[in-house]
Structure 1
Amino acid sequence: MKNFLTYYLFLVLCIPFVGSAQGYSMPMGQRYEKVRFQLVNNLIIIPVSVNGTELSFILDSGVSSPILFNLSDQDSVQINNVSEIRIKGLGQGEPIDALSSNGNVFELKSVVNRSQPLYVVMDRGLNFSPSLGIPIHGIIGYDLFKDFIVDINYVKKIIKFHDPRFYRHRKGRQEESLALTVFKKKAYINGTVYLNERGQVPVKLLLDTGSSDAIWLFEDEDLGIPDKNYDDFLGIGLSGQVFGKRTMVNRLSIGGFILKDAKAAFPSKESFNNIKNLGDRNGSIGGEMLKRFNIVFDYPNNKIVLRKNKNFNTPFQYNMSGIDLQHNGVRYISESIADSRGVVQKEGKSFGDVQILFENRTRISLVPEIIVSGIRAGSPADEAGLKAGDIILSVNGKSIHRYKLQEVMQMLNEKDGKKIKVRIARRQNNLLFSFVLKHMFK
């Protein structure tokens, strides 16, 4: 398993912003800017400087205006022209407190906006860093897409922001240009879903790079939930947790591209209580589907170019263990080593970065603590006896502190029928659990 999905980030603002952004631009004569990104859990993570402070943002085509959160680990972030507001979005909770701010300077290398509106969420519970394993401070979307031709290469992990005045598309193999509808700062594409019971259904889908799922569909008289499904936690929205049915559809066609046995979810209707008008939209298409293409988003000309890449036939990833994980601070471990002296300080950003080396050949390290954040009822892990709050120590004999969070998730969901042994800490006791991975739709 090369990727595993823990949270599906689907954030939608439902209130207008007073005032408008000046817009993004590059130095005169510059044709494009190239930016490298991290692909974590099917999400695009880019570095953005906000009023001189560098932060990490999810590039989210499903969000209207930038949102900041999780700023506790920053010494100082200047936010200009602030007023208090309430905002709402997906989830079963109430609207949340936030700040509205205007006149901020956003910089992405040479791409600059000197009058960027933004929201700041004050609720510390809205924090995606623990579930993704790296610091995340916000999301940004429409304001970047509207000012450039945005060329995303999911394989090379490079984005090119092209000045529309100079951009000339070079047509490549295995690509198709399709119509794009941009309405109320969001982009939509048409497709067809093939369900087992009801045949083919035309759908209008939100293009959402800020969702790490494959497809979300809204149940109605035409789009019925397939018989093979199970209850699942789908993620976190601005207004709380999102639950629904996890399932699979026979095919999804977009233009001439056909994806078979496509992973899908039907979020519960309660999750959309704060979204008053979905219009003629039937769902959304997220990162696990979009990463199968290299994509040119052309908002100015209302089109999108999809180029099939090497991820196109990659199997869709399911949570076969039933375990969700997240970081939960740090913990100490001791290890025997061949030779050691002194104190070592690791470089780079991490959740735990100190090692103390003793001459008696024991190393004490401060490492990330990874815990079980949720267990799906009836899953192999649930039946084996694992519980939310358990601290993961090892998977199949491998000490997990040596691996990134998403790598641990891969170990726990490698392939159907694989036996998994998980050693955990629970109330000062070390326990070993065994279970066999089960693909729910095979």
Structure 2
Amino acid sequence: MVKANDPIVALPFEIHLGHVYIKGQVNDGRPINVVFDTGAAANLASEAVAEEIGLTVSGEQTVLGASGPVTIKRSTNNDLMLGDDLKLKNQTFLVMNLDHLGDEDYPLDAVIGANVLNRYTVEMDFEKGLINLFTRNNFPAPEGYEAHKISLVPFNVPKIDASLLLEDGEVITGPYLVDTGAALALRINSPTVREKELVDKVTPNYKYTSKALGNEATDYIGRLKTYEVLGQKFDAVPMRMATVRNGVSGRSDINGILGLEILKRFNTIYDYKKQVMYIKRNSLFDQPYRENKSGLKFKKEDGALTVVNVIATSSGEKAGIKLGDIIVSVDGQKGMTHDECVAYLSNAKGTVKLKIMRNGKAIDISLKPASLI
């Protein structure tokens, strides 16, 4: 906690599905789940919540997502309540389908970022699970933190320089967007991937398709030897290599995106007025990276974990798991959330016993999770 100033408001948060969840309220609606995302240049609201609380749509707006431009409905003149006391008035929300970012256990109702960061100095304390908002005027340099200059051009999203170190000794340096809304460690933009032939150099790797802001995107995922950023070195980092030609990840003036899997290892203060990012290593610094060792992607639907993707050559495919299979139990444990199941399979040291339902029939499957990279 920064002691030189008292925060205007302290917002408790939890990390689920690789995102930072806080509680909020739009207009006079019910409490909703809001993701705090430094990569969000605009507020977003899910179509379901917009319909439920009656947001008035007043036009459309085209925004640049990770994989290309997306035209989205717009709702203006809304109130956003954060915590018990802080009300932000005249807020604009872009209304779109956000179902792919959340699930039944952790529905994702809205996303905020730049509209808060432009008004306040923001501290993200990942050890205490708190986002503290401070007045921007005369905010003092905090003790015990390192200061790093950031640029907010061209997206009003923090940008810093970082370096990739490949196995052959090649070093690739360039700018990266600081994006707490990215549920990954590192994603390299497609022009850098093509120019530096990273798919051929960072091996083994595998192909993975996911949905970004309004579009599907295919990446190759491999393990980078070393990543240097914010004065720190990270070894054996899982790295996504983009293939899209459009959107943020298709731009040649940015090398990539730095995501939550690295950013959560620091307590961080964003001071947009001074264009400075203060960091301090925290107790999560040496935590293992989240890694999909089962090759399965789940989504909680109708109270059950349903398999929505099976990566080719993964342990999940080798075990015979198929799209649409419902996970009933994992080593006898029932009712797991998405996060609990992914963590259990990632940390498993041996064979895991799964009970699944397929076309109404119960099937026992033995799965031995193993890294694909």
Question: Which residue in the other structure is 1:409 paired with?
Answer: 342
Q: Aligned equivalents of 2:218 and 2:284: distance in 1?
A: 28
Q: Aligned equivalents of 1:191 and 1:50: distance in 2?
A: 37
Q: Aligned equivalents of 1:207 and 1:378: distance in 2?
A: 32
Question: Which residue in the other structure is 2:203 paired with?
Answer: 228
Question: Which residue in the other structure is 2:357 paired with?
Answer: 425
1:46 correspondence with 2:17? no
Cα deviation digits, residues 191-242 of structure 1 (max 9, x gap): 1111112521112110001111000012142462334133332532123222
Q: Aligned equivalents of 1:85 and 1:375: distance in 2?
A: 35
Flag structure 1 segments of 5+ consecutive residues without an equivalent.
1-28, 330-367
Q: Aligned equivalents of 1:196 and 1:148: distance in 2?
A: 41
1:134 correspondence with 2:106? yes
1:242 correspondence with 2:217? yes
Q: CA deviation at 1:147?
A: 1.1
**1:275–1:253 CA distance, 2 compared to 1 (3 A):** closer
Question: Which residue in the other structure is 1:326 paired with?
Answer: 299
Counterpart among 7, 32, 37 of residue 13 in structure 2:
37
State the one-letter code of the partner of 1:433.
I
Cα deviation digits, residues 354-398 of structure 1 (max 9, x gap): xxxxxxxxxxxxxx2111111001111101110010010111222
8 A contact 2:44–2:94 mirrored in 1:
yes
Counterpart among 101, 114, 119 of residue 75 in structure 2:
101
8 A contact 2:67–2:248 mirrored in 1:
no
Bigger mean CA deviation after superposition, 75-84 or 153-162: 75-84
Q: Aligned equivalents of 1:31 and 1:95: distance in 2?
A: 36
Q: CA deviation at 1:434?
A: 1.0
Number of aligned residues: 362
State the one-letter code of the partner of 1:182.
L
Cα deviation digits, residues 158-198 of structure 1 (max 9, x gap): 010010125323311xx421111111311101111111125
Cα deviation digits, residues 310-342 of structure 1 (max 9, x gap): 11111222211111111111xxxxxxxxxxxxx
1:192 correspondence with 2:125? no
Find the residue that maps to 1:253 and give its secondary structure. strand
Q: Aligned equivalents of 2:51 and 2:254: distance in 1?
A: 42
Question: Which residue in the other structure is 2:254 paired with?
Answer: 281
* TM-score of the pair, normalised by structure 2: 0.90
TM alignment of 1:13-412, pairs within 5 A: 31-53=7-29, 54-71=31-48, 76-80=52-56, 82-85=58-61, 87=63, 89-91=65-67, 95-96=70-71, 98-109=72-83, 110-121=85-96, 123=97, 126-130=99-103, 133-165=105-137, 167-172=139-144, 175-183=145-153, 184-218=155-189, 219-222=193-196, 224-225=198-199, 226-233=201-208, 235-269=210-244, 272-275=245-248, 278-329=251-302, 368-399=303-334, 401=335, 403-412=336-345
Question: Which residue in the other structure is 1:355 paired with?
Answer: none
8 A contact 1:88–1:239 mirrored in 2:
no
8 A contact 1:321–1:380 mirrored in 2:
yes
Cα RMSD (Å): 2.3
Q: Aligned equivalents of 2:301 and 2:7: distance in 1?
A: 44
Find the residue that maps to 2:48 and give its secondary structure. coil
Q: Aligned equivalents of 2:63 and 2:358: distance in 1?
A: 38
Find the residue that maps to 2:318 and give its secondary structure. helix
Flag structure 2 segments of 5+ consecutive residues without an equivalent.
none
